[in-house]
Amino acid sequence: AQRVTQPEKLLSVFKGAPVELKCNYSYSGSPELFWYVQYSRQRLQLLLRHISRESIKGFTADLNKGETSFHLKKPFAQEEDSAMYYCAFHSSNTGKLIFGQGTTLQVKP
């Protein structure tokens, strides 16, 4: 079964520290993976997708098929990065998006 796992419920770092939010998936084919973010009092929105290999707000994520991972990274965290982050798997067969459990990132001043 397709599954996305985010092992950390909460990640707390100081401003300026590097950040890595972990995401592992289980899927035998070529996955389509995404990171979504929900800032306080805002709706969930797309942050980035692995296909485009873009960097958004300083965040990057590389698909590692060997480790079945899609970790989200940022070299220097900012306070405004504090939010809930969800890793998601898109099934092109069914069209649905499957989310991980989410990780709350807390960036302290």
Partner 1 sequence: NAGVMQNPRHLVRRRGQEARLRCSPMKGHSHVYWYRQLPEEGLKFMVYLQKENIIDESGMPKERFSAEFPKEGPSILRIQQVVRGDSAAYFCASSPPVQNTGELFFGEGSRLTVL
Residues in touch with partner 1 (CB under 8 A): 6, 32, 34, 43-46, 49, 86, 88, 90, 92, 94-102
Taking the least distance from each CB to partner 1, the nearer of 82 and 91 is 91
Q: Residue holding tokens 């060997």?
A: 66
Beta carbon of residue 16, minimum distance to partner 1 (angstroms, whole number): 29
Q: Residue holding tokens 């099934």?
A: 91
Q: Provide the residue type at 84 as one letter.
A: M
Taking the least distance from each CB to partner 1, the nearer of 15 and 38 is 38
Beta carbon of residue 57, minimum distance to partner 1 (angstroms, whole number): 17
Enter the tokens of residue 23. 């995401």
Burial 10-33 (b: 16+ CB within 10 A, else e): ebebeeeeebebbbbbebeeebbb
Beta carbon of residue 6, minimum distance to partner 1 (angstroms, whole number): 8
